[in-house]
Amino acid sequence: MLEKGKPMSKKTTAQEMISSYKKKQQWGPFIIGALAVVLVVAGIFILIFWMTSSGKPALPFLSSRTPTPTNTNTPTPVTPTHTPTMTLFPTDTPTITPTPTASGPFEYVIQEGDTCSALAIKFNADLLVLIKLNQANYGPNCNVPIGAKILIPQPDAKLPTPTPVDLTQFSKGFIYKGYVVQPGDNLSAIAEKFASTVDAIMKQNKLESPNDIQVGQVLDIPVNLVTPVPTKPATITPTGSVIAPTATP
């Protein structure tokens, strides 16, 4: 409303309003443009600063969110340990040749160093039986060559007990053939058994030494060469001592 006493001029008022509006229209673009330039310059400055700065910009809207590392359990590969497997190689077991225990004589091939006496001990055989079994092929002295076959008797085989010789049936100097030397024999004992002499037995059998005989050897014995000397029985004294008998000359 207009105050009383002050009449309003419509013409003046309209022009002022139009003029004022025009001024605003003229300055508006300049203000907006200035603001735009300021913003552009500020953006360029910030960009240059961010690119040339070694650190991160302090502006919060330019800083990027740093991801928080998450611990991921990565399994550590286990290197397989080579466990050696022991391969058992077959061990050659020596073949043991058992000593045959036969129910009857068996053949054996003579090796170097073998003798009838050694074989009798090795196979627990009676030497006299062994010699008797092979006497037809290798003689009474059991001279078997290397590589030849010999019969080995069973351990329990024994020769019959020899029958004592009745010297009264033979004349002086009679040759008793085929006496087999027994374990424990020597020429002196044999000579006494047959009323002979050591020299006569050695000569008859072409022995160079009285020690040249062995168990199982077959001898020819000249008998009744000497007169047997009867021995007196031992005399027992009252004190209990024994007086040995003396030979009668």
Angle at the Cα of 68 from the Cα atoms of 66 and 71, rounded to 5 degrees: 150
Query: Does residue 190 sit within a domain?
Result: yes
pLDDT of residue 2: 45
CA distance linking residue 133 with residue 246, whole number of Å: 44
Query: Does residue 27 sit within a domain?
Result: no
Mean pLDDT of the chain: 75
159 within 8 A of 132, measured Cβ to Cβ: yes
Query: Does residue 72 sit within a domain?
Result: no
Q: Which two tokens stand for residue 213?
A: 């005989």
116 within 8 A of 152, measured Cβ to Cβ: no
CA distance linking residue 133 with residue 158, whole number of Å: 11
* Rounded-to-10 torsion of CA 200, 203, 205, 207: 110
Same domain for 172 and 146: no
- pLDDT digits 0-9 by tens, 197-239: 999 999 999 998 888 888 888 899 999 998 866 555 555 555 5
- pLDDT digits 0-9 by tens, 57-112: 555 555 556 566 566 666 666 666 656 566 555 566 656 555 545 567 898 999 99
pLDDT of residue 37: 85
Query: Does residue 69 sit within a domain?
Result: no
Residue after which a domain boundary falls, among 94, 119, 152: 152
Q: Which of 21-30, 116-125, 206-215 has the lowest mean pLDDT?
A: 21-30
Q: Which two tokens stand for residue 142?
A: 């059991």
Look at residue 240 and tell me whether its pLDDT is greater than 60: no
CA distance linking residue 127 with residue 45, whole number of Å: 131
Same domain for 214 and 171: yes
pLDDT of residue 31: 78
pLDDT of residue 248: 45
Supply the CATH number for residue 207's domain. Answer: 3.10.350.10
Look at residue 117 and tell me whether its pLDDT is greater than 50: yes
Question: Could you give the number of structural domains in the chain?
Answer: 2
Query: Does residue 4 sit within a domain?
Result: no
Q: Quote the domain boundaries for residue 146.
A: 106-152
Query: Does residue 207 sit within a domain?
Result: yes
Q: Which two tokens stand for residue 120?
A: 């009798």
CB under 8 Å to 57, separation ≥6 — which residues?
46, 49, 50, 63
